[in-house]
Structure 1
C-alpha cells in the first residue's frame, strides 16, 4: 500500500468520526455533498430506486438516448446531477449529431419535467416532443396528453426499460473496474457491446429473411417444374 493510500484512508477515518459526532451526538443533518458512500469508489452516489425489492443502490445514474432501431445514440454519466437538469445539454448534443436530419419525436419520462424543459422542447426542432407533466396537469396539458399521437409515442417509451435491462446484461449491472476512469471505461465498453448486440440481431434477421425467401423461391420452382 502506498503512502498516499494510507493518507487517504486516514482522512476518511477523520471525516467519518466527525460526521458520526455531528449526526449522533449533535443531531445535525449531514448535507449529501459531504457524504461518502464508498471509501473505495468515492465518486459513487446514493440512488433511491423506489422499488420494494431494491429501494436503494450505490453507484451512478446514466442517461441514455435510443433511436427507433434501439441503438444507443447518446449517453452521459450524470455524477449526482438530477434528471430535470439534463434536457438543455442533451438537446444540444442531439442537434449537433443530427444537424441535417429531422427528428420526428423525442420521449422523456416525468422525472425530466419542468416548465423550462417543456418550453425548450415545444419551441425546438423536434416535431413531436413527449414529456408528461409531473404533478397535476392543467386543462391544456390533459388534452395534449390524452391525444392519440401523444399516447402512441408515449407507449413506445416503455422500450427503454428493456434497453436498460439489456445494458445490465452487457456489464452495467456492476462495474468491476476501479476508480472514476475505470468506471467511465466500463460504461463506454458496455454501451459498445450493447450496440454490437443490436447490430448482430439485425444482421441475423436479414440473413434469416434471405434464407426464407430463397427457400420459398426453390419451392415455387419445384412446383413449376
Structure 2
C-alpha cells in the first residue's frame, strides 16, 4: 500500500526540531520548494500505484514524497542504493529531508523497487512542472538559450564479435544450469562448452595483426560453431521440458521466468551469430542499424562524434538546452546518431510553447549550422551559430568577428560546464541500470536534480538581496 499522506512526526522528532538541527541551505530550499508542489507528488503517486489492484490495502510502503526526495538526494550526492540507505539512516538531517524522521529507513532494495516504478514520461512531466514553477517564481525568464548534445554510456563492455559470441555461450549455459536445479528431472544432452568457447575467444583477442590475417577466420568458424551448438541445444531443452512443472507454485514461477530468458537469449544469439558470420566470414560491412552491441543492453547505439580521445562511444545521444540562469529547459534521449543541425527548429518550437516567445539569444557550436536553421531563427535577435564548412562570405566573417557574436559564443561555452556537472556530480556519465526506460529515468532524474538545485540557489540569492535591501 502506498501511503498518500506523510506520517505523523513523534516527540523525538519535535525535540530535534526544537534544538535547531537544520538542513543544508540548498536541501532546505529544495524541501520548501517541493512542499508547495502538490502536482509533482500526485504524478509520483500515480506511478507508485500503477499495476496495483488494491493500492489502499496491503503492507505500508514509502510515500510519494519519500520516494521523490530520496531519488533527488541520490542524484545530488551521486550515491548508489546501499550508500543512500545507510546515509539516510545515519543522519537526522537527511532523515528530515527525505521525510523518514525517526522511522525505520528501508533497505537498498526497497529504494530500487520504488525508483523502478517511475516512468520516463513522469520524469519529463516533473521537469516541466518544475520549470513552470520557476517561471512563476520569477527566477527564469527564457531570454537566452544555449544548446548542445552529449553522450551517456550504457553499462556494457567494448563489443567485439568474439566477446558477444562468448556472452551468448556463458549466459545460456548459466540459465540452463539454473533451470536444471528447479526441474524435478535431470537435464541431459546439454554439454558445457564454456571452456572451449572462452579459449577461442581469448585466442582471437591475443592475435597479432599478422596472425589475424592468417588464422582469424578459422578461429571464428570454431567459435561460431560452438555458439550455434549451444543455442540449438538450449532450444532443444526448452522443447523437451515444456510440459514439466515444479514441485510447488514458486518453482513454477521460476521455471516460467527462466524459460522466457532462455528463449530471449536464444533469439539474441541468432542475431549475434548471423552478424559475426556476415562481418568476419563473408567480409560484409554490416549497417549500423542492423548491428547488436550487447545482449544485455540491446538498445545501445554506436555514437561517433569526432572526438580524438574517444572516437567511438556506446550509449545514447542526449540533447540539452539550457537557459542563462542554469536551468535545463529541454532534454531528449535521441535514437541513433542524428546530426546536431536537426534539433534547432524543434528546440525553438518547444521554447516558444514553454515561454510564449522566441529567445533573444540562441547559441550553439558549429555542428548546429545550416542555412535552413539560420532562416528558422528569424525571430531570434542574436543567432550565435558559427558556419560549418565552405568559404565564409564577407558578411558572415564580419558577423563572427563582431563583439556580440563573440559574447554569444562565450555564453555558449557555459553548457559545457553544465554537462560536466551532470556527468561528475549527478551520475549521468554512465547508466548502470538495465533497459531503455531506466536509462531515460536516469537522465530525467539528473536533469530534475540539477534544476531543483539551481532554483534553490537562485532563491537563496534572491533572499539575500532582499535582506540587504531591508
Q: TM-score range by the shorter chain?
A: 0.7 to 0.9
Q: Quickly say closer, same or farther: Cα 1:36–1:18, change in 2 above 3 A.
A: same
Does residue 1:76 correspond to 2:335, yes or no?
no
Distance apart, 1:209 and its partner CA: 5.3
C-alpha distance in structure 2 between counterparts of 1:209 and 1:93, whole Å: 32
Q: In the alignment, which of 3, 26, 30 is matched to residue 282 of structure 2?
A: 26
**Pairwise CA distance, 1:180:** 1.2
The CA deviation at 1:154 is 1.1
> Number of aligned pairs?
211
What's the CA shift string for 1:157-187, capped at 9, x where partnerless? 0000110011112121121222111111111
- CA 1:205/1:159 → structure 2, altered by over 3 Å: closer, same or farther? same
In the alignment, is residue 105 of structure 1 matched against residue 361 of structure 2? yes
Q: CA deviation at 1:71?
A: 0.6
Q: Any idea what SS the aligned residue of 2:432 has?
A: coil
Structure 2 residue 175 is matched with structure 1 residue 175 = no
How far is the alpha carbon of 1:41 from its aligned partner?
A: 1.6
Residue number among 404, 418, 425 corresponding to 1:149 in the alignment: 404
Whole-angstrom CA distance in 2 between matches of 1:174 and 1:195: 20
Deviation at 1:88, TM superposition (A): 2.0
Whether the 8 Å contact between 1:43 and 1:79 is mirrored in structure 2 is no
Indicate the SS of the match to 1:46. strand
What's the counterpart of residue 91 of structure 1? 348
Counterpart for residue 187 of structure 1: 443
Residue in 2 that maps onto 1:132: 386
Q: CA deviation at 1:8?
A: 2.2
* Structure 2 alignment gaps of length 5 or more: 1-256
Q: Residue 9 in 1 paired to residue 252 in 2?
A: no
Q: Per the alignment, in what secondary structure is the counterpart of residue 7 of structure 1?
A: helix
- The answer to whether 1:47 aligns with 2:320 is no
SS in 2 for 1:76: strand
TM-score, normalised by the number of residues in structure 1:
0.84
Cα drift, residue 68 of structure 1? 1.0
- Cα distance in structure 1, aligned partners of 2:366 and 2:294: 30
2:271–2:292 contact (8 Å) kept in structure 1: no
Alignment correspondent of 2:421: 166
Return the alpha-carbon distance in structure 1 between the equivalents of residues 344 and 308 of structure 2: 29
SS of aligned partner of 1:135: coil
Quick one: distance in 1 between partners of 2:299 and 2:305? Answer: 18
Q: Deviations over 1:82-102 (max 9, x none)?
A: 312222222211111121x45
CA contact (8 A) 2:364 2:384 kept: yes
Q: List gaps (5 residues or longer) in structure 1.
A: 218-225
SS of the aligned residue for 1:60 comes to strand
TM-score under structure 2 normalisation? 0.42
Higher relative contact order (CA 8 A, sep 6+): 2
Question: 1:146: how far off?
Answer: 1.3
* 1:106-145 per-position Cα deviation (integer Å, ceiling 9, x unaligned): 1111111222222212x2x222122111113232221221
Which residue is 2:318 aligned to?
Answer: 62
Larger radius of gyration: 2
Deviation of 1:5 (Å)? 2.3
